Amino acid sequence: MNSEAECKYLFKIILIGNSGVGKTCLMRRFTDETYEFNQTSTIGVDFKIKTVNIDNSKIKLQIWDTAGQERFRAIISNYYRGAHGIIIVFDMSNKNSFENLSEWISEIKKNTTEKIEMVLLGNKVDKVEKICVKDEDVYKFMEDHEIPKEVFIKTSAKDDIRVTEGFECLTRRLVKKFEDGGYSTSKKDGFRLRHGESSGGKCCM
């Protein structure tokens, strides 16, 4: 039997945030369990597939890693289409990456048509002596933008700290939203895998 047919859902997730915050490293740590010390910046977009087990159900994740540079914004806007969840990443040791979160929230609102599930990852917590973003500032930002506190997770792709937890937190929220009837019918048809159906052609682009 095709292993893809055993998956209950296929979710499209996109990673956004400033260049250099560690989006690619987080994706590769989660999907490949690897870390590259000299990771170059993503040009345009890249994606990986990962299957996870949530409450005894297999969930296939299509994870899109996007470039953080301003010049790629027009291209990246196309990849919001059909996305079920978003992971916003900032660098706990880079205040500017945190201050730019409002811009990324604006990008989400501009490019999505309904309220979308998201998690906020404060990456690079391994840089203990360089951390300059305070938790209280993060929670204030989340309150201002009506983002629940429980979706803020501090991570380190380098030391593999809470990376899987971050991705699985979003996945659980997506499953719950679907099963609670929180998606439109058209969007449901786009990611529920029926018996004998592969993920081929299910890429929401």
Q: Give the number of domains in the chain.
A: 1
- For the residues 24-30, what does the mean pLDDT come to? 94
Which range marks the domain in which residue 52 is found?
A: 3-187
State whether residue 12 is helix, strand or coil.
strand
**129 vs 186, more confident:** 129
DSSP 4: G
Helix extents (H) in the chain: 23-32, 73-76, 95-99, 101-111, 135-144, 163-179, 185-191
- For the residues 103-120, what does the mean pLDDT come to? 91
Most confidently modeled range among 32-36, 72-76, 118-122: 118-122
**Is 127 a member of any domain?**
yes
CATH (domain of 47): 3.40.50.300
Is 50 exceeded by the pLDDT of residue 84?
Answer: yes
**Is 84 a member of any domain?**
yes
Supply the pLDDT for residue 191: 60
**Is 197 a member of any domain?**
no
Supply the pLDDT for residue 7: 86
Query: Which strand (E) or helix (H) includes residue 153?
Result: strand 152-154
**Is 118 a member of any domain?**
yes
**68 vs 202, more confident:** 68
Supply the pLDDT for residue 195: 39
Q: Are 54 and 168 in contact (CB under 8 A)?
A: yes
**Is 205 a member of any domain?**
no
Q: Are 38 and 117 in contact (CB under 8 A)?
A: no
**Is 114 a member of any domain?**
yes
**Is 198 a member of any domain?**
no
**Is 43 a member of any domain?**
yes
Q: How confident is the model at residue 182 (pLDDT cuts 50, 70, 90)?
A: confident
Q: DSSP letters of 87-143?
A: EEEEETT-HHHHHTHHHHHHHHHHH-SS--EEEEEEE-TT-GGG----HHHHHHHHH
pLDDT > 70 in the chain, percent: 77
Q: How confident is the model at residue 165 (pLDDT cuts 50, 70, 90)?
A: very high
List the Cα angle 81/52/86 in 5-degree steps.
30
DSSP 70: G
